[in-house]
Chain A
Amino acid sequence: MATEKKMLNCIMCPMGCELTVTIEDGAVTEVTGNTCPRGAKYGHDEIMSPTRMLTTTVKVEGGQLALLPVVSKSVLPKGKILDCAKELKKVTVKAPVKAGDVVAADILGLGIDIVASRDMAAV
């Protein structure tokens, strides 16, 4: 049996507990160093299926500004973040845009939409 220990900094609150996660044969068996249950869950998820929000910009045509800030509707797999950012470089939207408008639906087939962070008036 392959046992591995990984050190993580919990990011659930300002305490920033230092977690030690024990992984046996690819599965988390123990999380120590946490103060609360949220830390244990973070330690588990951060090893087994880490996720991140993505925020970036896309080009906008005919808008008051050159770029439109965008955000993923919910978290994406961490390993796909750079690919998603690359994909969004190909996107150009037309003004006007309202906050919450979908600028890229179901990005890379991950089931998550990328939406506008703000309104962008046309000029």
Chain B
Amino acid sequence: MSEMYDIIIVGGGPAGLSAAHSAVKNGAKKIIVLERDREAGGILQQCVHNGFGLHHFKEELTGPGYAQRCYDLIKDCPEVEVLVDTMVLEVHDNKEVIAVNPERGLMKLQAKTVILTMGCRERTRGAIRIPGYRPAGVYTAGAAQRMVNMEGYIPGHKIVILGSGDIGLIMARRMSLEGCKVQAVLEICPFSNGLTRNIVQCLNDYDIPLYLSHTITGIKGKDRVEGITVSKVDDKMRPIPGTEFDIECDTVLLSVGLIPENEISRELGIELHPRTNGPVVDQHRETSMTGIFAAGNVVHVHDLVDFVSDEAEIAGKYAALTALGKNAASDRDLAVTPGAGVNTCVPQHLRLSSESEAVRLFMRAAQPKRKVKLSIMSGGQEVMKKILPVVKPSEMISVEIPAEKTAALSDDITVSIEEA
């Protein structure tokens, strides 16, 4: 008979570590975090820039600094074991976890609850179908970031970056600081999905041109990248013939979006949401399978790690209460649906009980807008509203419904954003 864990946590990034800490605070006695990398901390370890932690730790930290904070919270807890170099292969509905590790070999672990915190991964060249040869020198921005910030290699010297999300922008500055020449950043959308702060401090500071409504239509070079062909795109993102021009470079970095990493969730058979690409969860971050929880970028891709920690603390708390048999039984299940102007909303449903509790909704706007009213409706009644000076699809919005209001909810909920 294998040992029984209260909680097995799959992934030791900020979500997994924050969930573990919260589980300890809520009474769980035996927790194991399984991490496939050589150390805990997840992707934060390679994000050496600052700007993390202002919400969660009320202090501006670097990525490794934030990871350290999360790790320090649990490293001396006798309740928590962190196992690195450990790859989880399968999670079963009876909370049995199959993992492999170079020292222990194949392991079968058994828990009362499981928290999925596998994070997300980058879309690659294949995902966006760039035509041309397949020479060396095409990397995802995150792979290049790991090389430069952790392994001590430079992927190339003359760089073009496709995609102006924050990772692309941060890498433009990083490569410039390392003495590389960043020739251009290309963005297929007519606007950047990165923070204004990053446009200013990562591109403008280094005189790096940003081409909006442009994309790569060809990569030149047979063994190594020698250059790219760029085209302007129309309002349906189709390349416009006759607008092509070439940029010389030896390296192309792709920053073209993130996908929650849900192979294990899919095999397990929990319900995934078509728009977030992550597990459907209730307000406790419990998935469609009892005792299986999920939090962080595996549920939906975040722009702030602070929100990842906040969510993971919820998952950790309720996984602990479930393991201890203290979770109140719900008496109603209400759907939360994104309405006009809202693209996604997590959690996707609320399982409310007689114990009233505050519920925080995390959503993304469908379009950038100024001066909007966010309203939460239930059964034709406005539960609450909030006026926001600005919303952007790239910046997640978080709103809390106070406990006294959730106690009164009995109908499904719709969240919408319209001009105020």
Contacts and interface: CB of A to CB of B under 8 A. Distances in A.
Nearest to A65: B150
B390 A14 contact: yes
A113 interface: no
Contacts of B195: 11, 14
Interface string A29-71: 0000001000000000000000011011101000011110111
Interface residues of A, number: 30
A7 B176 CA distance: 24
Contact of A67 (B50, B152, B392): B152
A121 to B, nearest CB: 9
Interface residues of B, number: 32
Contacts of A86: 179
B201 interface: yes
B48 A57 contact: yes
B395 interface: yes
Of B67, B197, B392, the most chain A CB neighbours within 10 A belong to B197
B196 A16 contact: yes
B62 A117 contact: yes
B151 interface: yes
Nearest to B64: A118
B160 to A, nearest CB: 21
B48 to A, nearest CB: 4
Contacts, number: 77
Interface string B59-70: 000111101100
A82 interface: yes
Given A11-B197, A52-B205, A85 B177 contact: yes
A11 B201 contact: yes
B188 to A, nearest CB: 21
Interface string B190-232: 0000011101110001000000000000000000000000000
Contacts of B274: none
Nearest to A53: B50
Given A9-B196, A69-B62, 6 more contacts: A9-B200, A11-B201, A67-B151, A85-B177, A117-B63, A118-B65
Which 6 residue pairs spanning A and B have beta carbons closest together? A118-B64, A69-B48, A16-B196, A11-B197, A117-B62, A66-B152
27 contacts: A9-B196, A9-B200, A10-B196, A11-B196, A11-B197, A14-B196, A14-B390, A15-B389, A16-B196, A35-B389, A52-B205, A53-B50, A57-B48, A57-B148, A64-B38, A66-B150, A66-B152, A69-B149, A70-B48, A71-B62, A78-B205, A99-B65, A99-B68, A117-B48, A117-B63, A117-B64, A118-B67
Interface of A: 8-11, 14-16, 35, 52-53, 55-57, 59, 64-67, 69-71, 78, 81-82, 85-86, 99, 117-119
